[in-house]
Structure 1
Amino acid sequence: MAAPTNTGAAQGVFLLICFHFFACRFSCAQQLPGTWEVVLENAGIASMHTAVTRFGNVVLLDRTDIGPSRLLLPCGRCRVDSTDTFLPAGGQDCSAHSALFDPSTRRLRPLSILTDTWCSSGQFLPNGTLLQSGGDLDGLRKLRAFSPCSFDDGQCDWMEIESPRLADGRWYATNQILPDGSVVIIGGRAAPSMEFYPPSRALRPFPFLDATRDAQMDNLYPFVHLLPDGRLFVFANVRSILYDVDTGDVVREYPVLDGGPRNYPSGGSSVMLPLEATGGYARAEVVVCGGAQYETFLHRQTDAPASTTCGRIAATDPDAAWALEEMPFPRVMGDMVMLPNGEVLIINGAQAGSQGYEMGSNPCLNPVVYRPDQPTGTRFMVLTPTEIPRMYHSTANLLADGRVLVAGSNPHYFYRFEGAFPTELRLEAFSPEYLAADKDGLRPSIKSAPEKAWYGDDFEVVVETALPLVGQMEMNLLSAPFATHSFSQGQRMVRLSVSSTVAVAEGGAPYRYRVVCKAPPDGRVAPPGYYMAFAVNQGVPSVARWVQLLL
């Protein structure tokens, strides 16, 4: 005969366990690192392309052939395009498709863009001008320039460059600034070639893009990174090469990255990890994360699970090989953003489907941070989720105050504000854990820094902290990339060599220090241009100062 049981007591214990389990899950969700804030309820446009200028304001840019936006141009600045069938009779469009946003004051100013920038590319020039290239229709061979200004100036706007024009049509191309300050523009739909701005070098065939093309063209928006030896790491589909821009030679082909296609329309992302002064900036590692299954885009399999893997490779090593790691979530259309402490934020996107209109499902609301210096298996940390799905045509950009601005999401051919995943006009800022209030005592403040620095020269930065410094202050340079379609073109972080950190005066808080650091040795390590210079104390960054690195 079985022993009697106290059913009520057992049920009570079970319910208590369940209560604690779900309470813990709720509590843990509330305590995940990072915070979100909507910084603008209506930007008027869904930003397909986003870039942060040296004045700290942000260029938002969409396509033009989408019909009217929700942001009006000032009177007299309407665009006239009789070929755009989605405009009223006469082809007059008085709405903006680009805007300038000031994160510090949350003000917005419409900008004028005349030719179609759909799935175009961009890069900042050494003088701080944003070069914008290609697009579709009347924008296919166009170059445009935006010379930024302070928000209160109110005069800067887009300029259409009439000459030169692009030699090949550039739709879904990638731009990368080179050591001499010129820009290489690579690939695009039906364009297996590269060209340069200024056009001092001729159009050049690039057969690698023919070799990597499949039925759904998983070699669009190739991932391009400038290595510290001046050569390019170029990744398309599942393959990658080391390319010498000066000679036009493919120096080597790397092993195939397992796990399915990664480039557009398969929607993975990539970043080059920080270049370190230790070892003379000789080593560069590249990480590629996420993607879709083969033929997901081709067969419109919107519920096909996205890739869960990241591949990491030391591209400068003679025996370079990919090492695979598992992310906490499958992710397609995610953005990878270098943070000033050397970690990588992986944000936005979906857990199924691919890039393309109406092609994603199951939004991935949780960002994760990738900590490259931690042991394998412990590198990912799940962060606080947003409430706003960021699907196709979303962007993420680092701001000078250490936050990450998230914009866009329009998985529809036109603006649609109802139904699943409506067009998103809100701008959000994500604050990583290093901006939490309990880090205030560690957070440095840059009191003085040079506006210009020359390669190889020492320069001084004066920094204050609320608590006395333990160890040496870091100084890190981060570029301002052009973010679009899950890849930030020209993204780069360089850890500077710091020779000394000396207390300026005694006497308590705030504690002031003179930090002596050395600029990068040449343009291969850091191409000329404007960088955000962050002081970093025990993983906690300052607000950046913009420093122009000069040849």
Structure 2
Amino acid sequence: MARVTMWAAVLQLMVMVAWTWSGVEGQGYWEVVVPNAGIASMHSAVTHLGSVVLLDRTNIGDSQLPLPNGVCRDNPADRANTHDCTAHSALYTPGSNAIRPLFVFTDTWCSSGQFDGNGMLVQTGGDADGVTKIRTFTPCGDGNCDWVETATNLQEGRWYASNQILPDGTQIVVGGRGSTTVEYVPANGRGTSYLDLLATTGDAQQDNLYPFVHLLPNNQLFIFANRDSCLFDWQTNTIVGTLPQIPGEPRNYPSAGSSVMLALSAADGFTYAEVLVCGGAQYGAYMSGNTGAPASKTCGRIAPLAAGAGWAMEDMPQARTMGDMVLLPSKQVLIINGAAAGSQGWGGASNAVTAPDLYSPYNAAGTRFQTLTGTNVPRVYHSTANLIQDGSVIVAGSNTHQFYTFTGEFPTELRVERFIPPYMGGGIQVTAGPATLAYGAAFTVTVAANNPTTIELNLIAPPFVTHSYSMGQRLLQLAVSAPAGDGNGGYNVDSTAPPSNVVAPAGYYMMFPVADGAVGYAWWVKIG
């Protein structure tokens, strides 16, 4: 049975004291946790051991993070340095803030990924020698794990594609530059399949890259590209429904809005789904290089399985392109990073948006947004944001140049920051619970909390984050009993695991206790 580490308990106490001392309710705060990670993180993912995989491209020349023990990457296909003794991937450990270099061989530029049911990160595609590659990273506790280039390749080159884990344990890989198809990893006999949505949304600046893909609770996929979306039956490789076009600007790369599926809840049997799409850029800003073109200020929200589904539009407090959207244990959405003008791409944006916005989806329309405390570190093209086990958000990357360039308005950013949302504090944590859960199984956890009235248990699947989209991000609100004191200062909460692999694809989830609105330290649990 897992145990919460001492540093986590101390960290929770520090956060509680910080909020009590500050007297500023609801704004959050920032800290630099790594002054120089050595690489700029274009992609990132949180493993079930709590570490964070940071990943850049390889065709960029030397990083500032040496590979250990004289190891070098000798790759004649590398466009920048065929004998490279520096790392282009790293493992960051929260708490100790240690950085361990990782070895990745082929080019991972603008690639995609997702965790499988056993917590292995499956990473697909890229550019140049990496365009058809499949790589894996299996987290370990002994410091010996590293990237593995598999002997099996993708069936089609994938650059700027999106991945989504499916109920059968495979991943669908959708689109990419020059691609109008989907395929499955591992290959499941269905081969590649033409997706009309990708063909019809391919405008002159290709605003259908990194399509938004969400697994709906009826086992269909919601796939969104440019401004259009469809319902896709992955078992038959057919579009089974189309949805209205979202008003406003293009929303995918290179215009770069972002998207999440809001929390699925046991209260309705996990049957009701809503998708949120926010931000974007003016059409043509990317092609023309108009860095001053105002970005989108709108969000659209749709229930894709509802009869007569349509978009409900609302305005964000700030215009934003390249914003990352992070599902929080409070069932809110953090919109962070990006710029107020221009588009994605090298030197494509201006006016960095350094203050995150918090979206509360269950508030009344017009009262859902709150602007939080900003950072002094611009995070624009090639930046990431990931929720970690203590409920805070790790923010890394930003490189709006072809190579590492440390001058200009937006220099290559090697610092790693942590944003602490306003909901943290109180030393709340799961102190006992199951390591694994079967679908539909009843279970009990013990939560340390200060005389709570209510305790929620909310599951979050860790995504693969790149280019303003978090692949596989998922939030489930479980049914719970009223907390019952255990006589030892803890509170027992009874609950039931999600009912199926459609609602919760097999894999590792962070189970967050939320006591009277305050978010505690998560417990990792393997489902399925």
Instruction: Summarize deviations over 1:233-281 as a string: whole Å, max 9, x none.
Output: 0000000001111122211111110011000000100000000111111
Gaps of 5+ in 1: 1-27
- Give yes or no for contact 1:29–1:384 (8 Å, CA) kept in 2: no
Q: Percent identity?
A: 53
- Give yes or no for contact 2:460–2:475 (8 Å, CA) kept in 1: yes
Out of 367, 373, 378, the residue aligned to residue 367 of structure 2 is: 378
Query: Aligned residue pairs: how many?
Result: 506
Aligned-residue CA RMSD (Å): 1.3
Correspondences of 1:229-268 after superposition (within 5 Å):
229-268=218-257
Q: Distance in 1 between matches of 2:413 and 2:68?
A: 23
CA positional deviation for 1:145:
0.3
Which residue of structure 2 lines up, in the alignment, with residue 458 of structure 1? Answer: 442
Correspondences of 1:365-444 after superposition (within 5 Å):
365-435=354-424, 439-440=425-426, 443-444=427-428
Which residue of structure 1 lines up, in the alignment, with residue 5 of structure 2? Answer: none
- Give yes or no for contact 2:117–2:507 (8 Å, CA) kept in 1: yes
- Give yes or no for contact 2:26–2:422 (8 Å, CA) kept in 1: no
Instruction: Summarize deviations over 1:489-537 as a string: whole Å, max 9, x none.
Output: 00000001114432212xxxx7321111000000111100000001111
CA positional deviation for 1:77:
2.3
- Give yes or no for contact 2:255–2:286 (8 Å, CA) kept in 1: yes
Which residue of structure 2 lines up, in the alignment, with residue 126 of structure 1? Answer: 117
CA positional deviation for 1:85:
3.9
- Give yes or no for contact 1:30–1:384 (8 Å, CA) kept in 2: no
Which residue of structure 2 lines up, in the alignment, with residue 497 of structure 1? Answer: 479
- Give yes or no for contact 1:32–1:382 (8 Å, CA) kept in 2: no
- Give yes or no for contact 1:80–1:93 (8 Å, CA) kept in 2: yes
TM-score by length of 1: 0.90
Q: Distance in 1 between matches of 2:478 and 2:170?
A: 23
- Give yes or no for contact 1:333–1:392 (8 Å, CA) kept in 2: yes
Greater shift, 395-404 or 245-254, is seen at: 245-254
Check if 1:469 corresponds to 2:469: no
Q: Secondary structure at the match of 1:433?
A: coil
Check if 1:523 corresponds to 2:523: no
Which residue of structure 2 lines up, in the alignment, with residue 535 of structure 1? Answer: 513
| Divergent runs of 4+, >6 A | 28-32
Check if 1:205 corresponds to 2:183: no
Matched AA of 1:409: S
Matched AA of 2:440: G
- Give yes or no for contact 2:452–2:483 (8 Å, CA) kept in 1: no
Which residue of structure 2 lines up, in the alignment, with residue 11 of structure 1? Answer: none
Correspondences of 1:217-296 after superposition (within 5 Å):
217-296=206-285
CA positional deviation for 1:32:
6.2
Q: Distance in 1 between matches of 2:289 and 2:506?
A: 43
- Give yes or no for contact 1:123–1:481 (8 Å, CA) kept in 2: yes
Q: Distance in 2 between matches of 1:216 and 1:177?
A: 28
Out of 131, 137, 140, the residue aligned to residue 146 of structure 1 is: 137
Change (3 A) 1:403 1:341: same
Check if 1:66 corresponds to 2:60: yes
Which residue of structure 2 lines up, in the alignment, with residue 4 of structure 1? Answer: none
TM-score by length of 2: 0.94
CA positional deviation for 1:29:
13
Q: Distance in 2 between matches of 1:121 and 1:257?
A: 25
Which structure: larger Rg?
1
- Give yes or no for contact 2:341–2:349 (8 Å, CA) kept in 1: yes
Q: Distance in 1 between matches of 2:464 and 2:448?
A: 32
CA positional deviation for 1:31:
6.8
CA positional deviation for 1:66:
0.3
Check if 1:114 corresponds to 2:105: yes
Correspondences of 1:155-166 after superposition (within 5 Å):
155-162=144-151, 164-166=152-154
Matched AA of 1:381: Q
Q: Secondary structure at the match of 1:208?
A: helix
CA positional deviation for 1:538:
1.7
Which residue of structure 1 lines up, in the alignment, with residue 179 of structure 2? Answer: 191
Matched AA of 2:346: Y
